Chain A
Amino acid sequence: MGAGSIAIVGAAFLYAAILFLHGDLGFPVGLLSDYYFQVLMLAAINIIVTIGLNLINGFAGQFSIGQAGFMAIGAYVTAMLATFVVPIADFAVPFQILAFIGIVLVSGCAAGFVGYLVGLPSLRLKGDYLAIVTLAFAEVVRSIVRISDEISAGLAHIGLTKLAAQIGGIGGPRGFGGFPQLADIVIGPVRIPTLFTLIFISVVLTVVLARNLVYSSYGRAWLSVRSNELAAEVMGVNSTRAKVLAFVLSGFLAGIAGGYFAFVIRFLHPDSFSFLKSIEYLIFLYAGGAASLSGSIVAAGTLTILPEFLRVIGFDQWRLIAYPLLLIVIMLWRPSGLMGDREFRFLQNPKLRGRHAS
């Protein structure tokens, strides 16, 4: 069995183990409370976003710092569609899940499309200037949410009352809550938590698909742009198109993650997607190792769960300074990130099976 298959089996076991600890497999195990169950879901969401960010900042070597903007688009579109447009609360279980998947995919595509609009002109800018444009984009998204009441009023003014009502529901600075909840699937004593399962499958799919792209002509094109953009162009790589592609994909992934995020925390507010949130993902990416998929998984996972662990052992307020201190220590100790540009066995280049990929 190849390393990849072992990993998939391992993931399946992990899934089953988590469900067991959460008490869903019929045994009265209470080791994993609902709160920490939610933390696991957030960790998975963070992994998805970080992998997306890795494509543009890690592999393509750019500096995009507005991931929260894409998440916000995904979150709000999902919440809006699920609450106002497609009343999934009223659907029966299998249709509800399908509808939700559809909504999340649409949100991802919306975010990806916006990524295309933003990326095409911006990705010709160099380094730090690109960064500021992506930051500005994220803030503009937030501001648009903030003035949603005014937009809604304007739409009502010109007669689009239904659309106005839907946009008005976003609530601007008041926040947006009250979305329907996904019903879990119950089979006898076993309960399958729908949201968690969808998120888990999404993470696995994201890792697999990202890895496939990385070890293909696309990944090579990205790395060539990162290594030496001029030479890449001369060798026939349309560097702008490569960058835009990475940008769109990262937007799509962040959008999907945003959709899940909305349903996990069940209350959206423009401040949930501030620059601080974008910084979080940058930290996950660089602390794990840019251009290392394994690094993104490890960093996003541990840095989401670790602060909660600190909360458990009673260091709650120190959590807020321990976390940045930990980050500084990691960067000083391992400036290339925890994994550098190395990968776990199952994520290494399949052509180098058995050899150590340098």
Chain B
Amino acid sequence: MLLDLTGVQLSFGGLYALRDFSLSVGEGEMVGLIGPNGAGKTTTFNVISGLYPPSKGVVRFRDQDLTGCPAHEMAARGIARTFQNIRLFDRLTVLENVQVASHWRRGYRLWDAAFRNSRFAEAEQGSDEEAEALLATFGLYERKHERATSLPYGEQRRLEIARALASKPSLLLLDEPAAGMNPAEITALIALIARIREEFGISILLIEHHMHLVMGICQRIAVLDFGVKIAEGTPDEIRTNTRVIEAYLGEPVENERRQ
């Protein structure tokens, strides 16, 4: 297993955001995480990416216990994520946004940068080429020197994903990548995600509300409600699971049938 969450618990004040949550993601797998609003999905991502240390439980990645490690270390070990509300670096260009993600692999030290020696020039060029290739894959090469926030919404979302991939992760956490997209854009996104899996060979954990996106591309789906995992299985299993339906609709399925 690439990622192993065991018995993770996180509370804010007296409120449990996550309770006894366990999840595994294997190499090359595509797993979906769904649930009503406030169920704890983004909180799960925050725990995995190192922003919140869990109050209980273990986060294992590549067989190493990374519970409580700070975010930048998680990134260095190969976990990348996108954000629900786009968090691009508004003071940097499109190209620079992508390059930041490879900061810890820059290959030169302060001295090299200050005096612009050959080590710096080579490493910088490599960084430029790598980032430009990634942008090309995402159709953003033309805009590489523009301010990241001047891009239209759809392209900003693509840039978020491109940036996450720049750190060469083994696990990619996508937080509602289809938010605010129309059906045509979603179709393109599905194709993009499929291509990412193929080209980069990474595992993906996906939070989404667009059901046909999740059901369409995920191999496995876990369902959260009020911080607790209430179901896990294949898309077909989840689709017909009564507890899941109840959680989303908020009332027992019996009543619905009577009406």
Answer yes or no: A and B touching, Cβ < 8 Å: yes
Known contacts A232-B100, A236-B76, A358-B147; A226 and B91 CB within 8 A of each other: yes
Judge whether B21 is part of the interface by a CB distance below 8 angstroms: no
Least CB distance from A341 to B in Å reads: 7
Asked whether A230 lies within 8 Å of B145 as measured between CB atoms, the reply is no
Asked whether B124 lies within 8 Å of A236 as measured between CB atoms, the reply is no
Give the residue of A212, A235, A351 whose beta carbon is less than 8 angstroms from that of B163.
A235
Least CB distance from B170 to A in Å reads: 14
A216 to B89, CA, bound (A): 16
Asked whether B91 lies within 8 Å of A217 as measured between CB atoms, the reply is no
Asked whether A236 lies within 8 Å of B92 as measured between CB atoms, the reply is no
Judge whether A218 is part of the interface by a CB distance below 8 angstroms: yes
Asked whether B127 lies within 8 Å of A227 as measured between CB atoms, the reply is no
Least CB distance from A230 to B in Å reads: 7
Judge whether A237 is part of the interface by a CB distance below 8 angstroms: yes
A206-226 Cβ-contact flags toward B at 8 Å (1 or 0) = 000100110011101101101
Judge whether B146 is part of the interface by a CB distance below 8 angstroms: yes
Asked whether A238 lies within 8 Å of B89 as measured between CB atoms, the reply is no
A315-358 Cβ-contact flags toward B at 8 Å (1 or 0) = 00000000000000000000000000100000000011001011
Asked whether A213 lies within 8 Å of B113 as measured between CB atoms, the reply is yes
Judge whether A14 is part of the interface by a CB distance below 8 angstroms: no
Known contacts A213-B113, A216-B113, A224-B89; A233 and B146 CB within 8 A of each other: no
Judge whether A228 is part of the interface by a CB distance below 8 angstroms: yes
Note all chain B residues with C-beta closer than 8 A to A351: 128, 145
Q: Which residue of B lies closest to A350 (CB)?
A: B116
Segment 86-106 of B: residues with Cβ below 8 Å from A:
87-92, 96-97, 99-104, 106
A70 to B96, CA, bound (A): 32
Least CB distance from B112 to A in Å reads: 8
Q: Which residue of B lies closest to A357 (CB)?
A: B145
Asked whether A230 lies within 8 Å of B87 as measured between CB atoms, the reply is yes
Chain A contact patch, size range: 20 to 34
Asked whether B115 lies within 8 Å of A224 as measured between CB atoms, the reply is no
Asked whether A235 lies within 8 Å of B91 as measured between CB atoms, the reply is no
Asked whether A218 lies within 8 Å of B72 as measured between CB atoms, the reply is no
Asked whether B100 lies within 8 Å of A218 as measured between CB atoms, the reply is no
Judge whether A291 is part of the interface by a CB distance below 8 angstroms: yes
Least CB distance from A99 to B in Å reads: 24
Judge whether B49 is part of the interface by a CB distance below 8 angstroms: yes
A330 to B198, CA, bound (A): 55
Asked whether A236 lies within 8 Å of B75 as measured between CB atoms, the reply is yes
Known contacts A235-B101, A235-B163, A236-B75; A220 and B114 CB within 8 A of each other: no
Note all chain A residues with C-beta closer than 8 A to B75: 233-236
Give the residue of A230, A237, A341, A355 whose beta carbon is less than 8 angstroms from that of B100.
A237
A216 to B117, CA, bound (A): 12
B134-152 Cβ-contact flags toward A at 8 Å (1 or 0) = 0000000000011100100
Asked whether B51 lies within 8 Å of A218 as measured between CB atoms, the reply is no
Note all chain A residues with C-beta closer than 8 A to B110: 213, 218, 245
Judge whether B108 is part of the interface by a CB distance below 8 angstroms: yes
A227 to B145, CA, bound (A): 17
Note all chain B residues with C-beta closer than 8 A to A355: 145
Asked whether B91 lies within 8 Å of A223 as measured between CB atoms, the reply is yes
Note all chain A residues with C-beta closer than 8 A to B124: 216-217
Asked whether A234 lies within 8 Å of B113 as measured between CB atoms, the reply is no
A209 to B115, CA, bound (A): 7
Asked whether B91 lies within 8 Å of A236 as measured between CB atoms, the reply is no
Give the residue of A227, A245, A352 whose beta carbon is less than 8 angstroms from that of B89.
A227
Note all chain B residues with C-beta closer than 8 A to A239: 72
Least CB distance from B167 to A in Å reads: 5
Other than the known A223-B96, A231-B89, what 8 A-B pairs have Cβ atoms closer than 8 Å?
A216-B124, A218-B113, A227-B88, A228-B87, A235-B163, A236-B75, A237-B104, A355-B145
Some 24 contacts from A to B, beta carbons below 8 A apart, are A212-B114, A212-B116, A216-B113, A216-B124, A223-B92, A224-B91, A224-B103, A228-B87, A233-B75, A234-B49, A234-B50, A234-B72, A234-B80, A234-B81, A235-B75, A235-B100, A235-B103, A235-B164, A236-B76, A236-B100, A236-B101, A236-B103, A237-B100, A237-B103
Give 9 nearest A-B pairs by CB, closest first. Answer: A236-B75, A231-B87, A216-B113, A227-B89, A233-B71, A217-B106, A235-B101, A238-B72, A224-B100
